[in-house]
Amino acid sequence: MNLHSLRNPRSYLAILVLLLGAIYLGNSDGEIMFDDSLQVHLVRSYQSLSEVLSVDCFDLFRPVKNLVFYLWVSYLPDQIQIWRVSAILIFLGLIPLAYRFFGLFFKNKPWSQLLCTAAWAIAPASTTVVSWISSVNIIICAYGFFAYFILYEKAQNDASEKRIHASYFALCLSLLSLVVACFSYEAAMTAPFLCFLKDFLQHPKRYRSSHSRMFYGLSLSSRSIFRNSRNVWRGQYN
């Protein structure tokens, strides 16, 4: 590794991923915490795939989480170590995505971008590895949450360069990411408001664009899809 690469924050990002991978994988045989055992017991009682649309073990509407656990129990029953290692690897894949996400807020400040990414990535170490593995819905939600912002920025860049079809495709993927995030963990419903705030602080001219206003409206609609789906389920089964 030459001096030039040592000045590149991405080199330290790669080191961070490798280091955390070694730490987390080395501690992947800890006790099951939070919702693993409760969630596994719940999905084992399901009689059909349609039941994943019910609430999780905490009586919260998180169908994506139910689906992941249902598939795991169906195809890899009792393979807890495979589950833990897979979840850790999936979490490590989030770190480069988090780096890009923070880059949207720290433009031309790569070291601040790296610092925020590192602080976020080491958060599981302050509790336990297993606490994040058992919160699989948070991991999935983070993928959707980060992708929502990153794809939105890509759509804006494509629009400014007159790549209209590419811009609308990126917007559709962004909205789909938001829906997946909301159905994984309800905290993702804050994403549209954070997006509005980010544009207000960094790109106020976007509020005059019909392209952006359409995205804001669809973002709120995506958020409403989750709320309405949750209310419909409650009305049918409660």
Phi, psi dihedrals of residue 127, rounded to the nearest 5° = -115, -100
Q: How confident is the model at residue 133 (pLDDT cuts 50, 70, 90)?
A: low
56-66 residue pLDDT tens:
888 888 999 89
Q: What pLDDT sits at residue 32?
A: 46
- Give the Cα separation of 174 and 224 in Å (integer): 16
Q: Determine contact, residues 200/194, Cβ cutoff 8 Å.
A: no
163-213 residue pLDDT tens:
989 999 999 999 999 999 999 998 899 999 999 999 988 888 888 887 788
Determine how many CB atoms are found less than 10 A away from the CB of residue 60: 12
What is the rounded average pLDDT of the residues 115-122?
90
- Give the Cα separation of 138 and 152 in Å (integer): 21
Q: Where are the domains of the chain?
A: 3-237
Q: How confident is the model at residue 38 (pLDDT cuts 50, 70, 90)?
A: confident
